[in-house]
Structure 1
Amino acid sequence: MLWPVLLALQAVCSSVADAMQHYPAAWGHYDVCKSQIYTEEGLAWDYMACQPEATDMTKYLRVALDPPNITCGDPPETYCALENPYMCNNECDASTEELAHPPELMFDFEGRNPTTFWQSTSWKKYPKPLQVNITLSWNKTIELTDDIVLTFESGRPEQMVLEKSLDYGRTWTPYQFYATDCLDAFTMEPKTVSDLTQRTLLDIICTEDYSRGYVWKNDKTVRFEIKDRFALFAGPRLHNMASLYGQLDTTKNLRDFFTITDLRIKLLKPATGATMVDENNLSRYFYAISDIKVQGRCKCNLHANSCVFDKGKLGCECEHNTTGPDCSRCKRHYHGRAWSVGSYLPIPKGTANICIPNNHGPVHRANASSLGVANRNQARVCDNAMLRCQNGGTCHQHQRCHCSPGFSGVLCERARCQGPGECEDPLSGRAAARPRGAGRWLALAAAAALLQQAASLC
């Protein structure tokens, strides 16, 4: 008699797992900038915050190597395998297409057999360091949305630094250090991204996780973990993106951390596979990269949902009466109020903060959103339906949540630290950004919450 019930429950659990697996992507888009609505005065535009879809950004970059003659093949050279110094049958010859390894092979289609890759000259000038700078430039501000992944065809470097620029390569700051021995290489204590908290998310760390020699296939990759950092606010499976968007909306340093115009990979020491360099077989030591992945979107300040690549340059197709490569200023004759970046809040539409015509008077409309919201204080931050204040908070005039003692945040989603000791939440180190009532922001989120309740029975 229980079998039908159990089978039905199993089907529900399966559906829940599938739905939750795809849940984060469903509300990570902000892909519509405006839509027509009916008001008491007739048809009007309802403006919303919007951003382009995330995509593979390596299709739009320029790559530069320093020193420029560091690529192998001129003159031709024979290489030995790192794991077997007597297996020396790999030739690099820049004048022969089948034997050449130019930089563009770091960004071509993966899955070919044999694998294509860029390769440096060997360490033939040892003990002079074999160092290479690989600079990736977009000539456009980019927002990173996924891990940066480098795949090495040779052993992974024993010392490496990933750097970023926000000003088109004029200045650089480290993103992360990589070494087999962080203390020896950079005088830094080794850490991993799992050691970071909400409070220390912007810290620059040195990790030893990606600097071992090539042993197994999965030992060929080096990562800069974007999603693990997102998860400090959005939860382990990124289900609570509202919390992350709230933080990005109010914390410029956090937005800037995930924003770049250029990346630089500083290869400082190749894999040696041992404590000592074999000076009799220096052709074993070199760098070779088969793939670089950079996933992101054009930064358009939430004023565009598309970005075009025209005449070798990326540019936002600006909405909301804005203009410029990043939609960072108002169009001519639309300076009725100061330009402002769009806002992710309130979920799910955000606030457009559109530019309005010069000398535009007060807006008297049944639905003021047809002109966007001039500032964040005018946005509907909370209500008693979809945008509930959490953890016992109450909504005050749709403008802000009055939080219960011990909680803070736009929607009271973070636990405050109590006293001088450590916070109770071991993940955040400061405050849990995951709201206890997660999934009640919009219709999809409400459905997801019901599915989660069903999942607890599984």
Structure 2
Amino acid sequence: MFLLQTVCVCVCVSVSVCVSMQHYPAAWGHYDVCKSQIYTEEGVTWDYMACQPEATDMTKFLSVSLDPPNITCGDPPETYCALENPYMCNNECDATTEELAHPPELMFDFEGRNPTTFWQSTSWKKFPKPLEVNVTLSWNKTIELTDDIILTFESGRPEQMLLEKSLDYGKTWTPYQFYATDCLDAFNMDPKTVNELTQRTLLDIICTEDYSRGYVWKYDKTVRFEIKDRFALFAGPRLHNMASLYGQLDTTRNLRDFFTVTDLRIRLLKPATGSTIVDENNLSRYFYAISDIKVQGRCKCNLHSNSCVYDKEKGRLGCECEHNTTGPDCGRCKRHYHGRQWSVGSYLPIPKGTANICIHSSHGPVNRANASSLGVANRNQARVCDGAMLRCQNGGTCHHHQRCHCAPGFTGVLCERARCQGPGHCEEYPSSGQESVHHPLLLHRLHLFLQVCHGLLALLLPQGVMVFSFC
């Protein structure tokens, strides 16, 4: 079997055509790498591709602020009662004693200790004036959310709450989702759940009642903003088809921006009361307490970097840019690399994507449409080939950067598809810049290669047992 593998690899390299034996998780693509070595007739070269950092716990890199700033309990010390039992009043908050203090950083510390650590607000001692708190999470960096936002409340979950996002470092805010025990009464909105959303209504702002009712039972402490359920509208219920989602993110800017933030703001508008009437004789029952906040995401690097580094001196994250790009988000070309207008990397074609490298000024200027928009751009006006990074394939030639003149038997914007010839079904395979597998000579070599594989398998395996479907 080792001999068979060696022969197959040697034949594969000799004809410059490979049927890939290595299976990557196609759902997530190749976006954690930026280049790979490929074999061509000219020798070994680099094939550049789109890339992005791995997702991680983003709460390790945020700063938190509260409004009003003096809303944290403990100054002066205060005793609290349990929401479900107004006569159980043995919880003390004292900012001057470490064991009794509840500062905001305890929303992000390691959970699992006993007793649980949490941030806590002052009680509703100024009732009927609303007890409202803004908890703002700031990254000083654009990030992309990859999993549900989860808030865990140590007290009862708020009866009214709003989650907001900012894309401009807190200058402006837009709602993400409303939460209430009664959406119509609190926000004049009909209640909905994320399961009622469709691909067409994914960007709708909804109010949900799922996370605002009841006392604090064992499984009743969390409030979610469901990211994965929204992903599933394109990628399927188990996110098995992330290629479909990536294709949508690549071509729909509003969808991409929906999952992108620089800041999040949790607006706590009304604490849990456990009933419709507030007990004015025991207002120490009513307060907010958050034990944990989870935000999973990655740095936004415009598909031009596979790593993001936290600079402790500057207190901010920054992309380690590839593809001759620079800036916190790799949002511009480096000096002397303006031979083509900067463009975000592309998820397409799946799974490797397109790097859209900034090229040296001596090679330009060249203006072209983003590779991800070739399918929708006006192909009579867009510059779709440059002869350097976006080459016409399968022997085609670039004509005035306007179109590819394709060799006989090929068609497409970049001559990437085999033209149907004669009756019958014609398969189309996207080319990756190497010679097409539709070329007659290469097909003949590939046929010989498969025959060799069959012969070796017949010798090495028991008769009738053919388990290698790639031959």
Give the AA of the match of 2:362: N
The corresponding residue for 1:33 is 34
- Maintained 8 Å contact 1:39/1:366: no
Aligned to 2:86: 85
Q: Quick one: which of 313, 317, 329 aligns to 2:316?
A: 313
| Deviations 1:183-240 (CA, angstroms, capped at 9, x unpaired) | 0000000000001000000000000000013242211000000000000000000001
So what's the TM-score if we normalise by structure 2? 0.73
1:328 has 2:350 as partner: no
> Is the 1:33–1:50 contact (alpha carbons within 8 Å) kept by the matching residues of 2?
yes
Q: How far has the Cα of 1:41 moved from its partner?
A: 3.4
Q: 1:28 to 1:224 in 2, by over 3 A?
A: farther
SS in 1 for 2:220: helix
2:397 is aligned to none
Q: Identify the match of residue 348 of structure 1 among 330, 346, 351.
A: 351
Is 1:203 aligned to 2:204, yes or no?
Answer: yes
* Alignment match, 1:274: 275
Q: Does the residue aligned with 2:361 lie in a helix, a strand or coil?
A: coil
Which residue number in structure 1 is paired with residue 189 of structure 2?
188
| Structure 2: runs of 5 or more not aligned | 1-22, 365-385, 394-400, 405-411, 419-424, 433-471
SS of 2:340's partner is coil
- Percent identity of paired positions between Structure 1 and Structure 2: 84
Q: Does the alignment pair 1:245 with 2:263?
A: no
Pairwise CA distance, 1:40: 3.5
Whole-angstrom distance in 1 between the partners of 2:413 and 2:317:
31
Which string of whole-angstrom CA distances, capped at 9 and with x for unpartnered residues, describes residues 225-263 of structure 1? 000000000000000111101100100000000000000
The answer to whether the Cα contact below 8 Å between 1:24 and 1:239 also exists between their aligned partners in 2 is: no
Summarize the Cα distance change of 1:265–1:380 in structure 2 as closer, same or farther, 3 Å threshold.
farther
CA deviations 1:354-411 (Å, max 9, x no partner) are 0000031654699889xxxx99x99989868xxxxxxx99749869xxxxxxxxxxxx
Distance between the aligned counterparts of 1:122 and 1:23, measured in 2? Answer: 53
Q: Partners in 1 of 2:96 and 2:347 — Cα distance?
A: 52
Q: Residue 111 of structure 2 aligns with which residue?
A: 110
8 Å Cα contact 1:64/1:136 also seen in 2: yes
CA distance in 2: counterparts of 1:171 and 1:380, whole angstroms:
42
C-alpha displacement of 1:28 = 4.8
Is this contact kept in 2: 1:159–1:178, CA < 8 A?
yes
Partner Cα distance (2:342, 2:363) in 1: 14
Partner Cα separation in structure 1 for residue 390 and residue 230 of structure 2:
41
Task: Tell me how many residue pairs correspond in the alignment.
Answer: 366
2:392–2:415 CA contact under 8 A, matched in 1: no
- For normalisation by structure 1, the TM-score amounts to 0.76
* Distance (whole Å) between structure 2 residues aligned to residue 379 and residue 330 of structure 1: 26
Write the mapping of 1:125-274 to structure 2, written as runs, cut at 5 A: 125-274=126-275
Counterpart of 1:89 in structure 2: which amino acid? N
What amino acid sits opposite 2:284 in the alignment? S
Give 2:284's aligned residue. 283
Shift of 1:23: 8.8
Distance in 1, matches of 2:105 and 2:390, equals 56
Distance between the aligned counterparts of 1:393 and 1:294, measured in 2?
47
Instruction: Name the structure 1 match of 2:460.
Output: none
Q: Measure, in 1, the Cα distance between the counterparts of 2:389 and 2:230.
A: 42
